[in-house]
Structure 1
């Protein structure tokens, strides 16, 4: 149906209609914000955060290790112990549940890869001095730099099963199979995953991009604040933006406690569909 100003209901009109995907009683309650925009026409809230908690419902959950590769080891030192704990805990949970997955990506752009797109234009050509490179668009150290950090590397079986792949954009979902579909999204949909937990590098680029992409594709998103890091000064800003827009920022210990004590496997398709790119459920 074509949407025009004539057939778009007002909020008051819409609230009078039945809506099976919404809890009307909750919808009519005020949001628990602490401050509001002065003089705004809708008394608009100034603060937002995730209304859900991990333990609210059974889940099908995946740990995403975003660009945890050897070239980034200098930036990963502080978070590596926490990432080790995360991988160990998710592997243990995966051994007991078909609703747990782990995926690894590596950033694989090269200066001679033949790809010239908006990312190249945004970063520009400067900073590619061989002895002291700065340009963040490319891998500098060749194949050695693309290997996953050894402490959290996938096993041969995990690699063989396709859980490690090379991405060429900031967003982990923006790598495509031969049918033009998101490689990661298809892997997760095959296991009916509905929640993703992101760790890795860099917080204000790949991690934040993946959080937004995951939310757009219908996943509940957790960013593990003390298991992500960046080379810039934007760590806390990026976490604040993620936590107030599309994700829930938790600590390593909070996620580990949930996985060990409160995680229960959800039924496939209980909260997220797989036919539409945004994860909507049919009907």
Structure 2
């Protein structure tokens, strides 16, 4: 029920699953495996996979930290959107990419839960997209030294919060990997 006209398709949006982002992240290996499984399912079902890759002073473009983890390899034809802000829509061509694919619904996975994932979820939702967060396919590093709760609580809270999002003409929700309907309403 997206508010975007003529956008009947869904896409899997893989956000910032980069070496320097997920090294040491909470349940890194299982999250990357869940993402990998969804990427393969999307490809088999003909659902576009759109990759997002962050760069900044710590994730220098071209560096090993900047690269997408070796377990996940974007296909040559899959769009790769570079970004410099938390919200993957901000100052990028993501909207144009999704418009060209006639996408009105996003299934979101990746990192970091408490930064780029939350920002991108809200960025998509406020722009009119239906947005499903895959609850066991996003992660973050420990930021408790700066006063944040333990990472598992950050993830659980984000999953709970997104499960109950609502707005006119749009849907949101959180599902586990095994429950994802890549083409439908989740």
TM-score calculated relative to the size of structure 2: 0.79
Instruction: Spell out structure 1 runs of 4+ moving beyond 4 A.
Output: none
Match of 2:169 in 1: none
For structure 2, the 5+ residue unaligned runs are 2-6, 143-149, 167-171
Q: Does 1:67 align with 2:16?
A: yes
Q: Deviations over 1:90-147 (max 9, x none)?
A: 01112xxxxx32111122011xxxxxxxxxxxxxxxxxxxxxxxxxxx3379711111
Separation (CA, whole Å) in 2 of partners of 1:175 and 1:73:
26
Q: Is the 8 A contact 1:196 1:220 kept in 2?
A: yes
Separation (CA, whole Å) in 1 of partners of 2:126 and 2:71:
31
Match of 1:78 in 2: 30
Separation (CA, whole Å) in 2 of partners of 1:205 and 1:244:
19
Match of 2:55 in 1: 108
Deviates more, 1:140-149 or 1:196-205: 140-149
Match of 1:118 in 2: none
Separation (CA, whole Å) in 2 of partners of 1:191 and 1:216:
19
Separation (CA, whole Å) in 2 of partners of 1:190 and 1:59:
12
User: For residues 27-106 of structure 1, what are the structure 2 equivalents within 5 Å?
Assistant: 59-71=8-20, 72-75=22-25, 76-94=28-46, 100-106=47-53
Match of 1:222 in 2: 132
Separation (CA, whole Å) in 2 of partners of 1:140 and 1:190:
29
The structural deviation recorded for 1:155 is 2.2
Deviates more, 1:71-80 or 1:205-214: 71-80
Match of 2:4 in 1: none
**SS of residue in 2 equivalent to 1:253:** helix
Equivalences, count: 161
Separation (CA, whole Å) in 1 of partners of 2:13 and 2:34:
14
TM-score calculated relative to the size of structure 1: 0.53
Higher relative CO (Cα under 8 Å, sequence separation at least 6) belongs to 2
Q: Is the 8 A contact 2:8 2:102 kept in 1?
A: no
Match of 1:249 in 2: 174
User: For residues 204-283 of structure 1, what are the structure 2 equivalents within 5 Å?
Assistant: 204-232=114-142, 233=150, 234-245=154-165, 247-255=172-180, 258-259=181-182, 263=183
Match of 1:49 in 2: none
**SS of residue in 2 equivalent to 1:144:** coil
Q: Is the 8 A contact 2:135 2:159 kept in 1?
A: yes
Residue number among 97, 102, 110 corresponding to 1:192 in the alignment: 102
For structure 1, the 5+ residue unaligned runs are 1-51, 53-57, 95-99, 111-137, 177-182, 265-283
Match of 1:147 in 2: 67
The structural deviation recorded for 1:244 is 2.1
Larger radius of gyration: 1
